Amino acid sequence: MTSRPGTYALILASTLSRCLRIGQLGDLALRPGWYVYIGSAFGPGGVRARLAHHRKLAARPHWHIDHLRLHSQLERVWYTHDSIRREHQWAQVMQRLPGAEVPLRGFGSSDCACVSHLVYFARRPSFRHFQREIRALFPEHAPTRPIVTA
């Protein structure tokens, strides 16, 4: 992974059942399972810098994902270095994977028309399945890569 721009997915594990207040957005009914958050990194430092932020727990949560990170474990990251913003495409593909549910409308997507950039799965989603769907729908897409963080 480099400091180039790109798109990423945080694969988060939760063992908790509780209600989380997500800033002004509302309440997220957290439950045991897997949460996938899709974001993009087109600012200074690109993907590397954005993931460094997400690996730490925010003392003062700013983004929606900062609130969820306080109550979940970052297990994996999927990413691509691509000059095209792919987060909206990734969110749509992720929501169509088997077992996908949108746990809170508007999460991470308050600045776009996507339903949500957060998807819940009872079982850990498959990188290979996701990768196949991305390649099938977007043949010009740059390669996607997984990282195990835990």
Flag whether 1 is in a domain. Answer: no
Flag whether 118 is in a domain. Answer: yes
Q: Which two tokens stand for residue 78?
A: 């999927």
The reported pTM is 0.95
Flag whether 25 is in a domain. Answer: yes
Domain of residue 22: give its range: 6-148
Interatomic CA distance for residues 109 and 103, integer angstroms: 13
**Total domains present in the chain:** 1
Flag whether 76 is in a domain. Answer: yes
Phi, psi at residue 93, to the nearest 5°? Answer: -65, -45
Q: Which two tokens stand for residue 43?
A: 């600012």
pLDDT at 24: 86
Per-residue pLDDT of the chain (150 residues; tens, 9 = 90+): 789 999 999 999 999 999 999 988 899 999 999 999 999 999 999 999 999 999 999 888 888 999 999 999 999 999 999 999 999 999 999 999 999 999 999 998 877 889 999 999 999 999 999 999 999 999 999 999 999 886
pLDDT at 150: 62
Residue 108, Ramachandran bin (φ over 0: left; ψ between -120 and 50: alpha; else beta):
left
